[in-house]
Structure 1
Amino acid sequence: MKKIKFGMVGLGRLGIQHAENIAFKIPEAELTAICAIEEERVEEIKTKWGVPYGYTDFDEMIKNNELDAVFLCSPSHLHCDQIEKALEAGLHVFSEKPLGTTLEECKRAEKAIENHPDKVFMLGFMRRYDPSYVYAKKMIDQGKIGKPFLFRGYSQDPESAIAGAIAYAGHSGGQFIDMAVHDIDLSRWLLDSEPIQTWGIGGCYKHDEFGKHKDGDNVSALLKFKNDAMAFIFAGRTAPHGYNVETEIIGTEGILRIANVPQKNLVEVLDPSGVRKECSQDFLERFETAYVDELKEFVDCIINKRKPEVTVYDGTRTTIVAYACKESFETGKLIDIQEN
């Protein structure tokens, strides 16, 4: 069977994980090219893994006629431009979140994807492919908790990773677009409705560096949905114990909780400190399976000529909601969320 030949863009912490998944964990995929601005890094991975092609220029890479698809793990503000160029080059496109850092960028990506209906586009909302969230969605759809009316989502990065977060803050788009988009997307998916109002609050409780970008190190938002459901979303950068993502969905007949205790595995440690469970230390560890499964879905869509559930419009909508939360956070006002 013909393998789907990928060009990987970006070799940072997440990019290298995606590249490894393509190269070694998906039998139907082949890592044919890699692209990053650091030439030494490109040559290192190219040699180590036996990747045929290495580039420091995205425009040059997409001229490679051997490629079938590109995987974009580049800085957020480059996504939409690269999506457009890759589609024009005849390539299928998987892009990490967020879709874009402005609504104008998202609309540009929408148009490019609409102009290439024969190509598969998928956005990296990997939590939809995490086994626990897949199971929760199935239970909700089957009516196991009645009518869901409240979503609560916590996403916390560890304090140990704060230096990278501060360095990235200037071009991240802010914490709502950089972190909270996952919970925004989950709330839309699990509540099966769209947010119409938001109240955002937060601040720089430990690291004032975020303030110069009109951002906080810990932020939260309350959302009202078209179907009157509610969502509370919290995104933080200063968790002392490790990487922590937890979700609760409350319905009229039951409650679902996912990762209420952010444990790394089922092992309990008994030592002079007491009895404890260790926590995952980053998103790569917590969502290892989800990253592989979303890539499997993308490859299968290409092979079987179908489209994934996650679309460009999910990316646009989460961007609109995230920026409404950011506007509320910055102005202290209740914000009505605009339609697309």
Structure 2
Amino acid sequence: MNKVKVGIVGLGRLGKQHAENIAFRIPNAELTAVCSIVEKEIAEVQKNWGIKYGYTDYDEMLENKELDAIFISSPSSFHCEQIEKALKAEFHVFSEKPLGLYLNEAEKVAKVVNECRDKQVFMLGFMRRYDKSYVYAKEKIEEGAIGKPILIRCYGLDPTSAIGSFLKFAKNNYSGGLFLDMAIHDLDLARWYLGSEAERVWAIGDSYEYPEFKEINDAETGVALVKFKNGAMGIFVADRNCAHGYHIETEIIGTRGTLRIGTIPEKNLVTVFDHTGAIRECSEGFLERFEQAYLSEVEEFINCIIEKSQPKVTVEDGVNSTALAYACKESFETGKLITL
């Protein structure tokens, strides 16, 4: 196999970034086909990038036997169905998070993934595991630098500037809500860093500035408190209305020390001095903050296909993170303490 020929479904903000990475930044990959329900997106990419095939029908793309792999960057509500179809058509599959919006569908697709494991590669897009700072923190934990991790605190704050586009997305029932769509990255990191699954969850939240969130039974800002099976604790804050920009912060407290990642969400190492004072600008969005991580995760996927190996992120990570995120959603909606 000289190059892995990839077809991608979904050309929104993240999908287009993935498509560009596959087309121009990964030597062993070739973007051969694109699929979207928006014909304008297909025409633009085909014209500007010289992509051979364009589809508005996902099933039609799966009939293209020139392809080796399918990359799924469509809305979350379509993931499970599209994963299952692509695997049954004998393609390697990369899917953006979450694995599914409901635990039963995530468990169902996990069975299909494991049935195909000997001959096909499946990978889920938990890109923070490929960010250099988060990887370094994991190495320090494994070295015993902070002793035994006992508490993780995560802030996931989206910029206010993105609220309009998100509400349009959410009102079509594509997101699954604050915890499944947004906090799931932090919930997965907690499982990874603590080496344990969740046991009990309590989540609260509300709409403070934008009542539209309450209208769709979602929260503008939410908090979850999680007890893990090994006794460790987790505090997770997710917010759609961050005035200063995109703020992703993680703290892991251990018995002999503490690690913090992204305490100040700096855009770069530049300080601007002007009449307002000394300013350190913030990242403006996830594509900027995790640009390298999005590239690195797809590089691993392509390398796994070529080397006939399996990625470090497994389908079980997808199932268990979905279970935890859905428990947070259930607790938020019912006001009850949820036992997993």
Offset of residue 334 of structure 1: 1.3
Partner amino acid, structure 2, of 1:101 = L
| Greater shift in the superposed pair: 279-288 or 209-218 | 209-218
4+ residue segments displaced more than 4 Å: none
Equivalent residue runs for 1:1-340 within 5 Å: 2-117=2-117, 118-170=119-171, 171=173, 172-337=175-340
After superposition, give the CA deviation of every residue in 1:283-335 in whole Å (9 maximum; x if it has no partner): 00000000000001111111111111111111111111111111111222211
How far apart, in 1, do the equivalents of 2:256 and 2:8 lie? Answer: 45
Partner amino acid, structure 2, of 1:138 = E
Offset of residue 99 of structure 1: 0.5
How far apart, in 2, do the equivalents of 1:38 and 1:332 lie? Answer: 39
After superposition, give the CA deviation of every residue in 1:163-217 in whole Å (9 maximum; x if it has no partner): 0111122321110000000000000000111110011011001111111222110
After superposition, give the CA deviation of every residue in 1:146-165 in whole Å (9 maximum; x if it has no partner): 00001011111111111011
Offset of residue 43 of structure 1: 1.1
Q: Secondary structure in 2 aligned to 1:119?
A: coil
Q: Which runs of 5+ in 1 are unaligned?
A: none
Q: Which runs of 5+ in 2 are unaligned?
A: none
Partner amino acid, structure 1, of 2:12 = G
| Greater shift in the superposed pair: 161-170 or 58-67 | 161-170
| Greater shift in the superposed pair: 207-216 or 258-267 | 207-216
After superposition, give the CA deviation of every residue in 1:10-69 in whole Å (9 maximum; x if it has no partner): 100000000000001100000000000011210111010000111111000011111000
Percent of aligned positions with the same letter in both sequences?
A: 58
Q: Secondary structure in 1 aligned to 2:313?
A: coil
Q: Secondary structure in 2 aligned to 1:260?
A: coil
Q: Secondary structure in 2 aligned to 1:300?
A: helix
Q: Secondary structure in 2 aligned to 1:93?
A: strand
How far apart, in 2, do the equivalents of 1:15 and 1:305 lie? Answer: 25
Q: How many residues align?
A: 337
Give the TM-score taking structure 1 as reference length.
0.98
How far apart, in 2, do the equivalents of 1:111 and 1:252 lie? Answer: 38
Partner amino acid, structure 1, of 2:57 = D
How far apart, in 2, do the equivalents of 1:70 and 1:218 lie? Answer: 34
Q: Secondary structure in 1 aligned to 2:296?
A: helix
How far apart, in 2, do the equivalents of 1:326 and 1:91 lie? Answer: 32
How far apart, in 1, do the equivalents of 2:179 and 2:286 lie? Answer: 17
Q: Secondary structure in 2 aligned to 1:179?
A: helix
Partner amino acid, structure 2, of 1:309 = K
Q: Secondary structure in 2 aligned to 1:30?
A: strand
Q: Secondary structure in 2 aligned to 1:186?
A: helix
